[in-house]
């Protein structure tokens, strides 16, 4: 069965601000079964040509998996007619990852911290917290349906 | 990506997480542990020696599994977490919720 993922890689200056030399875009359906392959593809391109330590690979894999999972389940609510869009600007010093869903958005400031003793037994609510801990900077668009994660290369 | 279940000589149910533990397969792990509990297993070890990464859904599944095992009067141990995987438990403070051993052998000896 052909993969439902649409990958595009452009080796040209993607952004004057970030100084990125490669732009990777990926579109995937709202299906959690696609997450692992999408993470693998984007990580591969993010680290291509760089001697990245395993810690960087691990952080990328976890935060991508989290952001895609949030976009598919909470943003698009797994609607099969909605897509998730990944845009990775890859510079020599910085990786800038944007994950956007087609949902109404949410207020990231309204998400409680999940590490208090009273919340330790909860099964959900750690995704955004983990992203914030594992990347160097996180931004959201005004609508709250697009997260931008910035990782500095070591 | 998958799970491999065995039983050690002393009767502990050992589940190996091979590949990732993420939103796409967390339910499978929960069902596997539930079947073990239904089969009267009360000592369960989940080993991560062959695991790549875990997301928050995977961590959440482990929290649910731990609760179910506790409610059934059983014991859960985790083992084989490398430095990166262990950091996820520490960042989320979940290392205080689980009994974590360095190796499966140490975990089995602790039951």
Q: Which residue has the tokens 């392959």?
A: A37
What does the pLDDT read at residue A78? Answer: 96
What burial class does residue B86 get, using C-beta atoms within 10 Å of its C-beta: 0-12 exposed, 13-18 middle, 19+ buried? middle
CA distance A125 to chain B (A): 8
Residue A1 domain-assigned (yes or no): no
Q: What is the pLDDT of residues A126-142, one digit of tens each?
A: 999 999 999 999 999 99
Q: What is the model's pLDDT at position A2?
A: 62
Q: Domain total for chain A?
A: 1
Between B6 and A18, whose confidence is greater? B6
Contact criterion met (CB < 8 Å) for A36 and B20: yes
- Answer yes or no: do A35 and B24 touch at CB < 8 A: yes
Give the domain B2-106 fold: Transcription Regulator spoIIAA (3.30.750)
Is the ipTM reported for this complex over the cut 0.95?
A: no
Domain with A53, as residue range(s), is 6-152
pLDDT at position B30? 97
The mean per-residue pLDDT over the stretch B66-88 comes to 97
Closest approach of A19 to chain B, Cα-based (Å):
29
- For chain A, residues with pLDDT lower than 70 are 1-2, 11-20
List chain B domain ranges: 2-106
Residues 74-103 on B with a CB inside 8 Å of A are 84, 88, 91-94, 96-97
Cβ of B88 within 8 Å of Cβ of A36? The answer is no
User: According to the model, what pLDDT value does residue A123 have?
Assistant: 87
């Amino acid at each position: 069965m052909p993969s439902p993922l649409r990958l595009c890689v452009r080796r040209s200056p993607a952004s004057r601000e970030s100084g990125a030399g490669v732009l990777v875009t990926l579109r995937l359906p709202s299906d959690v079964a696609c997450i692992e392959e999408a993470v693998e593809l984007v990580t591969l391109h993010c680290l291509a040509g760089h001697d990245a330590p395993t810690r960087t690979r691990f952080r990328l894999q976890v935060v991508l998996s989290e952001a895609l999972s949030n976009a598919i389940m909470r943003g698009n609510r797994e609607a099969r007619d909605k897509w998730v869009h990944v845009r990775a600007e890859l510079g020599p010093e910085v990786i800038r990852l944007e994950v956007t869903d087609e949902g109404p958005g949410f207020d990231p400031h309204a998400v409680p911290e999940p590490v208090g003793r009273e919340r330790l037994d909860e099964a959900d609510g750690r995704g955004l917290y983990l992203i914030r801990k594992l990347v160097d900077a996180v931004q959201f668009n005004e609508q709250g349906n697009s997260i931008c994660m910035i990782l500095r290369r070591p | 990506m998958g799970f491999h279940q065995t039983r050690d000589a002393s009767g502990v149910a050992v589940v190996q997480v091979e590949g990732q533990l993420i939103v796409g397969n967390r339910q499978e792990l929960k069902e596997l542990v539930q079947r073990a509990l239904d089969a009267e297993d009360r000592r369960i070890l989940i080993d991560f020696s062959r695991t790549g990464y875990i997301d928050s859904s995977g961590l959440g599944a482990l929290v649910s599994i731990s609760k179910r095992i506790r409610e059934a009067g059983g014991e859960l141990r985790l083992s084989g977490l490398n430095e990166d995987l262990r950091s996820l438990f520490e960042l989320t403070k979940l290392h205080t919720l689980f009994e974590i051993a360095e190796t499966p052998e140490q975990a089995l000896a602790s039951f």
